[in-house]
Structure 1
Amino acid sequence: MKTRCGVTLRLFLLVWLIFALLSACRKQDEPASSVLVRVNERIISFDRFEADFSRHLTARDIVAEETRMELKRSFLAQKINRELILSAADRAGINLTAAQQEAVVAEHRKDYAPDDFEGMLQERKLTEAIWRRQLLENRRIEETISRLAYGDIVISPKAVGDYFRKHRQEFDRPQQVRARQITLAKEAEGQQVLGQIRQGLDFAEAARRFSISPDAEQGGDLGFFGRGQMPDAFDAVVFELPIGRISELVKSEYGYHLFLVEERRSAQHLTLEQVQDEIATRLRAEKEEEAYRNWLQSLRGQATIEVDWTLL
């Protein structure tokens, strides 16, 4: 009996020793990431932060070490703000159900063809799992801000009316046009593009292909504008050009331009009823900005935040 107990004890000790050695080897091979930030009960590991920061930078962000450190500190401040909000969500029990999570993912996935989605992941240096985590985290943050920071905001009809009377001149709108433009560096290039358009090339497509103006990606769309908002050379053409007709080449200090007028708006003396929704949206945006700033400051004042600066 004594011998059997001794064998059993030795066997137990041998197994325990092997397990301890394997555990030690695993810890040496896979060291735990150091904690960079603690925000209340939440942590950001150094490895997680470095990976997120690397994805945050673009290929063009090859900067001096001093500038890189400034960018890193700014990014860290953003991460701390996110953790403050997520900590508030934890305390308030604000979470997305499984069904809500799948709905959010499906809503964003539908904007991409399969190949486009994979291309987006590669461009942003993401795996699908990380993309999903960030997406759902962002949605949870939005829900938390909406409930906890914006929940008490009310825009009364009186506030809308007071704003309208105080800013009455803002709602006297001059005649406006909506136009597209194509800008070329040389006159010969302009004539060639004009010829292609007259042969059937869509104006917006031509703008995307050939225009050197920043609005080229939007098909040259300048939006609505009134007299005096654009250079005089523009106004002299677009306010006389019939809708749907393409201008001749117009020379300016920026190059050579082609214009297409798509819509016109007559001068308007807008009423309160016509602009009340616009005013309410404007007032809500102002109140939300102030409420968010004050709420975040309150969270920061109540939180325990620890940063291991030696890791950066």
Structure 2
Amino acid sequence: MEEQKVLINQDLYNQIIRKNANKFSNLRVITGYSSAKFLADLHREFPKLKMTVYIGMAEDGGVNKDDHQGYCDLSKDPNLEVYYHVEKPGDHRKIIDFSNQDGEHASYIGSANFSSNGLTSQMEIMTEVTDDLDDLFLSAKEQCLLCTDSQVTKYVTLTDSEATEKKRSVDDEEIDYDSELFLKKSDTQKYDGSVSVSLLFDKYDYDHTGINAAEPYVTIPQPIACVIPKNKIFSLTIGNKRYHGMRQDDLGRNIVLTDGDWLEIVAKYLKLNSKPVKRKELENKRCTNLLFIPKAEDMYEVRFIEVDEGV
């Protein structure tokens, strides 16, 4: 009988890194992105662990100048090597493989980058596998250069922090602004009877209201003129899933879900990195509001309003 794979979707750093780092002598990693600080902290915690890290999106997304210098400094230690992927297409796989000289392995694949965000704060999933991963790592190495190689800058753009974060926000987080779930703000006027709602409305307490509230809600800025029914449950379609909502409080300003969680839904589609969600992060994702589009009586389609670039 085939052994059932266990999915790891929380506490990844402890469940994967700390669980194995003292048991094994070697660690090799393929990741889309990482950071010098994360590798330095990991190396400080497990100095005897020999690490080889392949950063797969280096050629495509660039490497922050400070990170590059950090990687080069770390690579002076014989127990740590950092490689940049320099061929197209970029390598967006996430593979973590611990091993010993006797051939024992603990290997994981999934969605988490080898970074602090990927392994501690973002919603990610990994699973342990027993496959032989040698060919994958050999292939990765053949398409990489050591970060200290004199030819690196011919292939990899060294960027300033702001440019790197903007690229990472769109590419690494994989927000598909072209999907039907997103709607440009300039196009919202096309939908008669639609209602715009705010994810975070109370500017005096963003951390504890809206989608950050104990019972998350979205807010109708002008509830008196709103056509969404009060004191009545209505249907909301978000992506390929249907939920049910209702207006709460005296003015009917806030909309809660009776069978879902606004924070989880918004975090899923906007690939949010923090809890509580910061207003600035929503702005960086170009989305602070949703649009409820009427489809039938008491039925609405929900779209994320994307602020047009340059606006």
Under TM normalisation by the shorter chain, which class is it?
Answer: under 0.3
Structure with greater contact order relative to length (CA < 8 Å, sep ≥ 6): 1
Query: Which has the larger share of strand?
Result: 2
Query: Which has the larger share of helix?
Result: 1
TM-score by length of 2: 0.22
* The structure with more radius of gyration: 1
